[in-house]
Copies of this chain bind each other. A is one copy, B any other.
Amino acid sequence: MEEEKEKIQFELTAELIEQVQGFVESQNDKELQKLLKEFHYADIAEILDELNLEEAVYVIKLLDSETTSDILMELDEDNRERVLKNLTAKEIAEEIEELDTDDAADIIAELPEERQQEVISKIEDEEHKEEIRELLTYEEDSAGGLMAKELVKVYETWTVAGCMRRIRGQAKEVTRVHSIYVVDKQEKLIGRLSLKDLIIAKSDQKIADIAKDNVDYVNVTDEAEEVARIMSKYDLEAIPVVDDKQTLLGRITIDDIVDVLKEEADKDYQLAAGITGDVDSDDTILELTRARLPWLFLGLIGGVGAFLIMEGFQEAFGKYAVLFFFTPLIAAMAGNVGVQSSAIIVQGLANDDVKGSINSRLLKEMLLAALNGFILAIFLFLFVWGIKGEVNTALAISVSLVAVIIVAGLIGTFVPLFLDKRGIDPAIATGPFITTSNDIFGILIYFWIAKMILGI
């Protein structure tokens, strides 16, 4: 058990990395293998992510392909790409042979077009090869792109005893048996069974009699997000995938869905922060610039818009310079309220719990914004009045603030709902997009109302 304690408490220390680098440098294969044998493949992947390319390739070539195929799957995508470039097509094919079809297809899909065929042709297991070829034909973000061909399938006419005997063979190839799928002679999915049901049943019972016929499934063309929604709503750990004729094609397991959910959450989070594309903090400065600059440019345009508005009101500056000093406050409040209201709608849409009409949403947000705005305006009024002693100016600024907050809340609520109705991902509406448009509208409304109240 001592070994196990280490596994859970695995920590990526500088010493450990140095130790591995030392063994690689001195080509001390025996010690290196002994050291790495202790670790889970996910941990070894973490170590390799810290090595340079040459060292990482050395380790990959040293270990057996059963371990290294799993390590490859866990590497950072960029690092995997670099490592694969340094392996021959034959070596990659050997890794592929060890992987389940879904992972195998994912790795091959990452290779450059011309290498894909070369690697596939080097796969020895003909069935594996054909299955991978099939999986590569599906869209990446579809049920077909997520599914694996490995599953346990039985025919309805079999007996429990016969079934047990035959699935012993099938099960060896399947890492985790979640469900046993029951098909008819035409390979159509007609039910499911758990291993537990099989163990509890009498050995002479017919599969058709003990199978559950309420089996959830998805179509091979369904979107990954939809599959994730169904699996998490119905608490499924695996779901079979069928074609339009109900033919059983594969199955999707919950671990793939965990990845889909994580990616979705990451993407929405980044969009809200004004970052496009799937970047992480370890990407290059150029990649990060490409993800960040367009949104900053949008902000720049918004700022120029605000400048033009303020210049339009320039004449008022002489007497009421103080109005201009509050524009950053107005812009900030408009932006913050917009982001808050859009974020809550985007999240509600993602979790599928935004119900009721757009109008009732807008009414609710208006009341909410009015309440928040009123409370904030009281403080602002007291501050301006106290510091400037001008009731009118204080009133003009506070009343405008309430109006700006209400409009900002309405825009923040309306835009994502509108985009969603149009079939556009509402997540793009949060962050810089809402902030920028609210800055401009906010400042415009602010000066209009202030002008009216002050009678400029």
B contact residues around A261 at 8 Å (CB): 258, 261-262, 265
A255 and B235 form a contact (CB under 8 A): yes
Residue interface mask A248-292, B partner, CB < 8 A = 1: 000000110110011001101110111100011110010011001
* CA A368 to CA B291, docked complex, whole Å: 11
Select from chain B the residue with minimum beta-carbon distance to A282. Answer: B353
Tell whether A336 pairs with B432 under 8 Å between CB atoms, given A269-B268, A439-B328. Answer: yes
Please tell me if A379 contacts chain B, counting CB pairs below 8 Å. Answer: yes
Contacts of A432 in B (CB 8 A): 336
Decide if the interface of chain A is mainly helix, strand, loop or mixed: helix
Q: A7-B216, A321-B317, A329-B303 are in contact. Are A355 and B50 (CB under 8 A)?
A: yes
B435 touches A336 (CB 8 A): yes
In the bound complex, what is the Cα–Cα distance between A364 and B322 (angstroms)? Answer: 39
- Complex interface: chain B residues within 8 A of A329 (CB): 299-300, 302-304, 306-307
A57 lies within 8 A of chain B by Cβ: no
The answer to whether the Cβ of A383 comes within 8 Å of any Cβ in the partner chain is yes
Which chain B positions have C-beta within 8 A of A12? 355
Residue in contact with A272 in the complex, picked from B174, B234, B235, B273, CB distance below 8 Å: B273
> How many of A's residues come within 8 Å of B, CB to CB?
121
Looking at the complex, which one of B195, B237, B303, B353 makes contact with A281 (CB distance below 8 Å)?
A: B353
Chain A stretch 402-426: residues in CB contact (< 8 A) with chain B = 405
**Are A326 and B340 in contact, CB atoms less than 8 angstroms apart?**
no
Bound Cα distance from A279 to B258, whole angstroms: 23
Within the complex, what minimum Cβ distance (angstroms) separates A69 from chain B?
A: 14
30 residue pairs A–B, Cβ–Cβ below 8 Å: A4-B217, A7-B214, A176-B194, A177-B195, A232-B255, A254-B255, A254-B258, A266-B347, A266-B351, A269-B269, A270-B343, A270-B347, A273-B340, A274-B339, A280-B351, A281-B344, A281-B354, A285-B364, A285-B371, A292-B368, A296-B340, A297-B379, A300-B333, A303-B326, A307-B322, A307-B329, A310-B325, A324-B325, A328-B331, A331-B332
